[in-house]
Structure 1
């Protein structure tokens, strides 16, 4: 017995790798430095900047024409985006669109040219773009006017682009602070009771009840920087801002861009002419170079201090959990080893207690082993995809200037990582003593993807019916389906075939007869453990989730991926340590059914995430129509499923390797 205790004492150091969070903490300082360098926007060198110069100095490498592109229109009161030409705005006669990548197709971010075209460094004032006429006696024109008024009432926002930069609108709010958004409204509405809604509060002239005010004029300010010290004629654009105005142009041949606002009465029954105009000016900025041309977008993001507060709060949780796990492995287990060293008689070894009593049952295969294996395979696939995508963003390979690149990268990685899903699923299924590895492969390859694809198909049908620009074309759906069936599924089979050849070896034998589990108190039952285990990861991430939801549903630009990557690592550590801690407590209560419990403990965070999306829907959005509600919760369920898979997988494997390590060091069999 003493020799056995000596073996345990000399190999205590082998327990250290079982502390998953502590190893992650060693690289956390490096991640902080990476975040500090990347939290500001940047311009990817791979996207060649455009040189501009005056019209009389134009060359093949330096152009004078500055084109303005328009993106889809969206609203916080409806999740249905629409293309620019869906509304009756001015259209470009030679309409052309830049080529779209997979991410833009999936998000419906169609970018098209506009009739707004400027000459570099040429100031223009009150230039007519087009005139739109509406006669309520004409049914087609009446529908266009009604749709325009509906867009104003729902506060739909323009999104314009100049030289691949978003055109932002800044306005002063209370406390002398400036609030900027990468879009500006079509107009605003004053209700029948005289309440000014949305942008109507910025102008005291918008005061007539039951009246729509259309923003038919924009003052555009474009800032540039002279890049070449030897050739001052070459410049690059570094920012674009605008200020929407409303003017009722009485004479379209003599435009002054002054006077009363452009009003559209709520009960309009006459003819109406709307003249769209613009003014543009160029300003030189000698400090802001093109390499940091996205810095001006930060003016709309004053929440950096909140991000740091969230991360510090998460660090406190990590330190607490790391201390608890370290106390268990380096103190509690050490105490057991010391007791073994002090044993003098063989019969003393029979007086085991706690987690050592279940050593013959701790690796007994769980129920529904095939389903658990499939979840683990899909979880690994999502986890690796998310990690690589966020790492590439932080390293600068996925610039915000390259729209749709983030989603394209994520989809391509998910398809190519089918091998990892099949391998992990088959290997765990073999470890669980499963024999139907082909059925397990089919479940891994089809279960979760089919659920997501069915969800997307239903939402796409709604978008088709509503005529939204976010609807994916039938050809694109077939292409995505072909990528999954032709690439991901075969790779999953390859991984499953390799994984089925081996299994994880258990350090202890499994008893023939299962041990009876003592009666458990409420605090030791699985539900209580899952509730506690899900709170900690959610507490580390809910502030970041707020900004992510804002970027998706409130249409705010999200570019602080350094913070996001750091919070992602914190989430992995928290899930890992919380699951290890709670699984150890359950094993001490002689409950050896830990397989599913380890998965659900950390994945219960997805339940809190769903509750948070409901709270966000009620408190932050003003969605009223049924179609938008279905689309919101359908998209939220996809996000919840993704979090369920990868958080549960992180917790499961942390607990699996921790338990394997302590039972291999403390040989109680």
Structure 2
């Protein structure tokens, strides 16, 4: 491999893996070292996927926003719709800042209209300091006797409390006050203050606050969960055992090649059910290429979910922005061999001949479906100017991952599956002439049977998993919806529309 090839490979490898398994720096500061406060996005609370650039609202800035530094993360962070811009607010390590004006804003009719729209829709914002997030509301709506719509107020002061341990930042806490009414022609001074507080919490445990659970009393019903899983396993095993004991002799009888088919048909003339069509049960399906591709993709996705869950348990993917998305993309590309292997084996066992079509469809079915849906959603996001819009360069990177990693592995898996697991192993022989099957009534058609047959299992599993997930994660912070912007208060403050200073209580 040439030096240029090695350089390109290392560049792509570091781009995909850095946000998951590495940190940008050691996060260590000396006294009076500058600490950047990054502004990220803003959007309505009730629709957390609708996010915009922080400066899409007419917030003032210490200097020109075009000259402000941007911080670009890994692939997952870009796909997650993050765009970090330096707020240019002067913050220095271990240097307290009293109430200080960082910029002045003059309100006009257009700005007032924008801020009122944001307040009425409960717009929240997100900041980052030393990779620690801070959340808050843009403003709130106060009751007003003289107005049916209430009074719109904008928070103009941000109080930042930073906890540190030696030379590292551990916690960052944001509170807001000094609400000012929105009136055209009014001058507003946007202020901030910073207070540094020592703590004994180590740097390695600074993200434990997101998983802290003493705020709510919760009880995980371990007995119910264990009982449900054991019941499912027991019933599955019991049904499987009964079926295998019942079908073993039938399989052996139908698989014997020395029996005359006519005598065999006479023996089963009094039978019913699947035995009447045992010679057609394992006949290749009509759309073999599509079915093989779907089965192979399903096997890959099942392995992908299991692998990401294991990586999340072993590592700490919740720390890095976009780390889980990056892990999903990388793991999907690396597990494409499984989809090709399963699809190729199934296609070969059923006597498929169109190998090129099967390989291409298996490798491109799920990615192109995602690309199509993503393209439609991306067009809408671009039209509305949302941060959820994926940049063209990121789309090219994702396509390159698929074209040079996922696609070749899927093709290789198809070839290996065809040669290693492509021998037919059907328990019953397939007759040359298909048996005519009479038309079924409407309630026995495959669509109705699939719907009604899956309705009850889906309902029971959905209810059970709802209680399981509620027991496990109901009290945790949801990083995707930003359900808390204050680390030291009960998370319920996020749902309070009054001044949240009344809820600011230390544990």
**Fold shared per TM-score above 0.5:** yes
Distance 1:124 1:492, change over 3 A: same
Q: How far, CA to CA, are the matches of 1:436 and 1:193 in structure 2?
A: 75
1:624-656 Cα deviation digits (max 9, x unpaired)? xxxxxxxxxxxxxxxxxxxxxxxxxxxxxxxxx
Deviation at 1:133, TM superposition (A): 1.3
The partner residue of 1:224 within 164, 177, 196 is 164
Deviation at 1:471, TM superposition (A): 1.2
The partner residue of 1:452 within 362, 365, 370 is 370
Do 2:288 and 2:352's aligned partners in 1 also have CA atoms closer than 8 Å? Answer: yes
Distance 1:329 1:405, change over 3 A: closer
After TM superposition, the structure 1 = structure 2 runs for residues 302-381 of structure 1, keeping only pairs within 5 Å, are 305=218, 308-309=220-221, 313-330=224-241, 333-334=244-245, 360-381=279-300
Do 1:52 and 1:235's aligned partners in 2 also have CA atoms closer than 8 Å? Answer: yes
Distance 1:437 1:82, change over 3 A: same
Distance 1:291 1:550, change over 3 A: closer
Mapped pair 1:283 → 2:223: no
Mapped pair 1:238 → 2:170: yes
Mapped pair 1:407 → 2:325: yes
Mapped pair 1:541 → 2:437: no
Q: How far, CA to CA, are the matches of 1:92 and 1:150 in structure 2?
A: 24
Do 1:193 and 1:209's aligned partners in 2 also have CA atoms closer than 8 Å? Answer: no
Q: How far, CA to CA, are the matches of 2:380 and 2:249 in structure 1?
A: 66
Mapped pair 1:51 → 2:28: yes
Do 2:62 and 2:103's aligned partners in 1 also have CA atoms closer than 8 Å? Answer: no
Mapped pair 1:188 → 2:188: no
- Paired residue secondary structure (1:281): strand
Do 2:296 and 2:342's aligned partners in 1 also have CA atoms closer than 8 Å? Answer: yes
- Paired residue secondary structure (1:221): strand
Distance 1:156 1:67, change over 3 A: same
Q: How far, CA to CA, are the matches of 2:426 and 2:145 in structure 1?
A: 73
Q: Which residue of 2 aligns with 1:144?
A: 111
The partner residue of 1:494 within 412, 419, 423 is 412
Do 1:360 and 1:510's aligned partners in 2 also have CA atoms closer than 8 Å? Answer: yes
Q: How far, CA to CA, are the matches of 2:217 and 2:202 in structure 1?
A: 23
1:513-572 Cα deviation digits (max 9, x unpaired)? 556779899799443322233334433433577869994873338xxxxxxxxxxxxxxx
The partner residue of 1:67 within 33, 36, 45 is 36
Q: Which residue of 1 aligns with 2:53?
A: 83
After TM superposition, the structure 1 = structure 2 runs for residues 566-581 of structure 1, keeping only pairs within 5 Å, are none
Deviation at 1:313, TM superposition (A): 4.3
1:232-253 Cα deviation digits (max 9, x unpaired)? xx3322111121112xxxxxxx
Do 2:45 and 2:124's aligned partners in 1 also have CA atoms closer than 8 Å? Answer: no
After TM superposition, the structure 1 = structure 2 runs for residues 584-603 of structure 1, keeping only pairs within 5 Å, are none
Q: How far, CA to CA, are the matches of 1:291 and 1:412 in structure 2?
A: 26
Q: How far, CA to CA, are the matches of 2:224 and 2:146 in structure 1?
A: 45
- Paired residue secondary structure (1:89): coil
| Superposition TM-score, scaled by structure 2 size | 0.75
1:49-104 Cα deviation digits (max 9, x unpaired)? 4223434xxxxxxxx33322222112223442111222222435462122321111
Distance 1:243 1:365, change over 3 A: same
Q: Which residue of 2 aligns with 1:510?
A: 430
After TM superposition, the structure 1 = structure 2 runs for residues 193-204 of structure 1, keeping only pairs within 5 Å, are none
Q: Which moved more, 1:470-479 or 1:324-333?
A: 324-333
1:421-448 Cα deviation digits (max 9, x unpaired)? 2222122122222221222223223333
Distance 1:460 1:277, change over 3 A: same
Q: How far, CA to CA, are the matches of 1:111 and 1:418 in structure 2?
A: 33
Distance 1:517 1:553, change over 3 A: farther
Mapped pair 1:113 → 2:86: yes
Deviation at 1:213, TM superposition (A): 0.6
Aligned length: 441
Do 1:522 and 1:528's aligned partners in 2 also have CA atoms closer than 8 Å? Answer: no
Mapped pair 1:274 → 2:274: no
Q: How far, CA to CA, are the matches of 2:394 and 2:51 in structure 1?
A: 18
Q: Which residue of 1 aligns with 2:455?
A: 531
Q: Which moved more, 1:271-280 or 1:78-87?
A: 78-87
Q: Which moved more, 1:430-439 or 1:490-499?
A: 490-499
Do 1:90 and 1:129's aligned partners in 2 also have CA atoms closer than 8 Å? Answer: no
Mapped pair 1:97 → 2:70: yes
Do 1:190 and 1:209's aligned partners in 2 also have CA atoms closer than 8 Å? Answer: no
Q: How far, CA to CA, are the matches of 2:35 and 2:160 in structure 1?
A: 12
Deviation at 1:45, TM superposition (A): 8.0
| Superposition TM-score, scaled by structure 1 size | 0.58
Q: Which residue of 2 aligns with 1:155?
A: 122
- Paired residue secondary structure (1:363): coil
Do 1:186 and 1:214's aligned partners in 2 also have CA atoms closer than 8 Å? Answer: yes
- Over the aligned positions, Cα root-mean-square deviation in angstroms equals 3.9
- Paired residue secondary structure (2:283): coil
Distance 1:463 1:336, change over 3 A: closer
Q: How far, CA to CA, are the matches of 1:538 and 1:480 in structure 2?
A: 33
Do 1:76 and 1:553's aligned partners in 2 also have CA atoms closer than 8 Å? Answer: no
- Paired residue secondary structure (1:212): strand
Distance 1:54 1:166, change over 3 A: same
Q: How far, CA to CA, are the matches of 1:371 and 1:188 in structure 2?
A: 53
Structure 2 residues not aligned, in runs of 5+:
1-19, 252-262, 485-494, 496-507
- Paired residue secondary structure (2:358): helix
